[in-house]
Structure 1
Amino acid sequence: MSTSLPDATQVERSDGTIQLAVVKERHFKAPIVLAVLTVLLGAIVLFVPRDGTSTFRLGDPSQSFALPNVALPTAVTCWVLLAVLALLTVWAFWLAWSYRRQPLWLTIAFGILGVFAFLVWAAADGLVPVSSLLFGAVSLSVPLVFGALGGVIGERVGVVNVAIEGQLLLGAFSAALLSSITGNPFVGLIGAMVGGVLVAFVLAAFAIKYLVDQVIVGVVLNVLVTGLTGFLYGALLVPNEQQLNQPERFGRIQIPLLSEIPIVGPVLFNQTFIVYLMFIAVALVAWGLYRTRWGLRLRAVGEHPQAADTVGIKVNTSRFWNVTLAGAIAGIGGAYFTLVSVPQFGKDMTAGLGFIALAAVIFGRWDPIRATFAALLFGFATNLQNLLTVLKTPVPSEFMLMLPYVVTILAVAGFAGQIRGPAASGKPYIKE
């Protein structure tokens, strides 16, 4: 029986014995990405210089207590921040050269300072409403967070959930239809969960019972749901818009005192029911995945189904019901479109966000908390695109439309690195 260790290799000594020797590897992917971003930001500041004053509004006009605006000299602040980013990049290269891991806080600090430097450059002689920027980022991230949670549960149990897009879209359609008929947004929310479950049920049936390739099933389901909702929208909702496509929406629920906290108060504590449900869902999934018997069984099935089977866990049954649960959670994200964001259902209204949610799962390393932060990052990039349009920056409009997807590519390809998902993810289990 041979024994293997990570980053280790067997070396035969002169006396014929075998000794394990540790082999260290340098990982330069993250430092290279940081260097490229620093150079790009420096090129923007150098070749498209902007003078004047950049003003940041920290308070919210609706609050009784508001912080004063912060005005910064644009050019000087940009160059100072660039110098700090360069130092962080050099430090990242030194850590890689010294065979040390990149600390998470370094990447986070670089990201925050880099975005801040770009905002200072973009807001020359303009105003950046910080609370509104963050509020919009959270709002745009809600469907992504629910989709990412569904993706994490699905892949942790061993099923690749490429059908998140279809679950979001059918959830949005079901929520709009039922909420319009009943005049109750909670009925619409339940309908969205049922819509997500239906898509997940078909995915689980074909992938688990009939052993069809999971990625192919997911792609086909996305196309099927897109065509089905598009047909029903034109044949059912458009002719009966007042009766079937005017959903009753959730209103904002302001939490006393907490909503008055500067900057974060309006962002976190003056939200709708679905946003508060998102906070609860993230906490419950994170706790359940690592602290409960359900989570232990789920992870065991996704990592080593044969071992799980030997201790009495019904692998395929566990996969089936957990994929269904993942579909219900993703369906809630679809409900956000029609019960909060947009007053009615529109054809193809999810616009590919399900695939970005899947990227958030990978970037978040199949962890619910990390995936949530990844979804918030993508939501922030989308809202930043809108802000740059308002500020009338010299950045081409085509690039601003690309911004969320560029961030997604950089996050997954650059910062995710060489990561390993659940060992049995995407592999059907056949009991011998």
Structure 2
Amino acid sequence: MNVEFLEALQDLEREKNISKEILIEAIEAALISAYKKNFGSLQNVRVHIDRASGEFKVYSRKTVVEKTNDSRLEISLEEAKQIDRRYQLEDIIEFEETPRNFGRIAAQTAKQVVVQRIREAERGMIYEEFSNREGDIVTGIVQRMENKNIYVDLGRVEALLAPSEQMQGESYRHGERIKAYIVEVKKTTKGPQVMISRTHPGLLKRLFELEVPEIHDGTVELKAASREAGARSKIAVYSRDENVDPVGACVGPKGMRVQAIVTELRGEKIDIVKWNEDPARFVANALSPAKVISVDIIEEEKVARVIVPDYQLSLAIGKEGQNARLAAKLTGWKIDIKSESQAKTLQILPATYEGQGEYEDYIYDDYDYEQGTEEPQDNYDETYDENYDYEESYEDLEQAEYEDVAEEQYDENDVHSEDYTVEDDQKS
């Protein structure tokens, strides 16, 4: 019996992925319960199972006291000294009391307790596994839908995708494989409950980590992300290696890397911009694809006052304010956008960041990928032109004419001098 018993424990260990020691402890607890139930004992007992032979024994435990009140739980110091002179008050003495037919009775009584303990051990292991994966991405299969809640099979446990965590307009079909972000793991009476999300900005970060090797190995760092799930997102990236273009690494050859993420997010548009430690430059980058004339940082109010050309105002604000809203979330600054004519009317002078000439050197590095955009013209370098913008909404000729006019207006108002640079402005 003992050999078969140990073999059965080993089989359970392999099948349930539960430690053999946990199973033995559960069986010991079950045997204690069985002993007390079948033999009507109120004693303090301990059951020990030999890990090598599989033999088990029952011990009653008594505390050494000066004078006994209950012989089932206590033993006098005088009696204890007769057993061993080294015993002192409050010591515990064990007496073996294994019944002859205890094995058969215990097997019948302890079965349910053992099964329950195994279930609890399984739930505990699942909880530990997924609680350590909070903030990670998982892949699951859609199982069913109940009251707008989507249940996703993650293998060992079912995860809950609540309505508030579902992307707007996204439908889920039975058997469909989806990726989701683990938001929280709760302990419940029915076992661990895993809460997942398809709208969390963390999902976007984890997807880029999966698709972009440079982010995974730490060469490129994803500094910030803002997202309106199902519509548009912005991420800010930074390269620790000056020879690696962070935006190009995220876009991938012919947009393959970002295309895979857009497909997973059901066509959600993604803006990839460069992060900069200078708040003014970072705000200007975050408003891509709009061009910025100047950014004035007001530290006390945590406000960035941005001036853009008149024809870029609607692009900077975005549909229903979406572009400006995402840029504010991305940078952590409140953004106040004014057109050039409004700035002149209010006599707001450009400060902190001066655009146009120097602006073009880096703002066009920002690449905006949209699913379904038309292919660029024949003269566009297929390898990846850093000065190409899919969302440019004005003709080159009109831009050139506007810049000529803008430069004349700036000279007349003495706003910029020929030697004006960003560094001079920061010193002032």
Q: TM-score range by the shorter chain?
A: under 0.3
Comparing both structures, which one devotes a greater share of its residues to strand? 2
Higher gyration radius (CA): 2
TM-score normalised by length of structure 1: 0.19
Comparing both structures, which one devotes a greater share of its residues to helix? 1
